[in-house]
Amino acid sequence: MSRPSLKELYLAHEAKVAQKWEAYFGVYERVLAPLRDAQINLLEIGVQNGGSLEIWAKYFASAKVILGCDINQRVAALVFDDPRIDVVAADANSEFAYQDIVSLCPRFDLIIDDGSHHSRDVVASLLRYFPMLAPGGLYIIEDLHTSYWDKYGGGVAAERSSVAFLKTLADLIHAEFWKDQDSAAARAFFPEGAPDYLRNGVLESVEIANSMAVLRRAARPAGLGKAVIAGKEALIAPSLLEVRERQAAGVIVTPQ
């Protein structure tokens, strides 16, 4: 018998209220499927009524820790039947919340930001909590449409919006190819240089969907690697055979 999908779990849920945009379910189902049976630790920033935590507990039946954090102090009164679920009632970007979260669970396989959605908070949360992500783990940001709204610190041309930050992260993935170039966008967010946990092969990918971003931490930090060349006939570009010969001789060939 097939297991219910995440959307089916939402539609059948009758306890604490939860809300996700319909378009999110397909993305979640695709990227979370490899983790579904794993003994993961999950952190969700912004839990409101707490229903999403209950649904995550159903979806990740083998999860060890399901931790929520919300700035609304009333979440401290939430009671959950599942002992794996806990909540920190504090601003996720405060040092108090961070220390409390670290004390409860120092490493996460999945972090979901469904918090204030203000660009400054989205950026601050990622810089604070991405280092806690385990190798191979996922950091997911919801409701990125707010990045285009002024009241959330955004706008299409806003230089420090959350989407502008994600575009900068895409550049950082390719930082090994910058050579002597500089990035004004990167300087806007990292005036003293980007931290190693967002470059040098640690940040593997940034995927953007409608109002949603999925960042993956590399299982093993690495760059582009070597060119893999197959075949023996190279009528159009015979230099590829020379590259293969140089690689066989131990010469490191860099992208041109």
Q: Is the pLDDT of residue 185 over 90?
A: no
DSSP symbols for 69-99? EES-GGGGG---SSTTEEEEES-TTSHHHHH
Percent of the chain with pLDDT over 90: 79
Say if residue 104 is in the same domain as residue 222: yes
Same domain, 168 and 214: yes
* Mean pLDDT across 149-177: 94
Mark whether 137 and 250 lie in a shared domain: no
- 118 given a catalytic annotation: no
Residue-range definition of the domain harbouring residue 248: 227-256
Q: What is the per-residue pLDDT for 18?
A: 96
Is the pLDDT at 175 greater than 90, yes or no? no
Spatial neighbors of 218 by CB under 8 A, at least 6 apart, are: 135, 136, 201, 202, 203, 204
Question: pTM of this prediction?
Answer: 0.94
Contact 138, 215 (CB under 8 A): yes
Give the pLDDT confidence score for residue 109 in this predicted structure: 98
Which residues pair with residue 51 across a beta bridge?
Answer: none
166 with 214: CB under 8 angstroms? Answer: no
Active site residue: 117, 118, 145, 174, which one? 117
Could you tell me if residue 1 is inside a domain?
no
Residue 256 confidence (pLDDT) = 65
Check residue 226 and give its pLDDT: 81
Q: Alpha carbon 185 to chain centroid distance?
A: 20
Total number of domains in the chain: 2
129 within a domain of the structure (yes/no) = yes
The answer to whether residues 112 and 18 belong to one domain is: yes
The stretch 124-129 carries a mean pLDDT of 98
Nearest to 113 by CA among 197, 213, 30, 35: 213
Mean of the pLDDT values across residues 143-154?
Answer: 97
Q: What is the pLDDT of residue 243?
A: 86
User: Does 159 share its domain with 200?
Assistant: yes
Tens digit of each residue's pLDDT (9 = 90 or more) over 189-230: 999 889 988 988 999 999 999 999 999 999 998 788 888 899
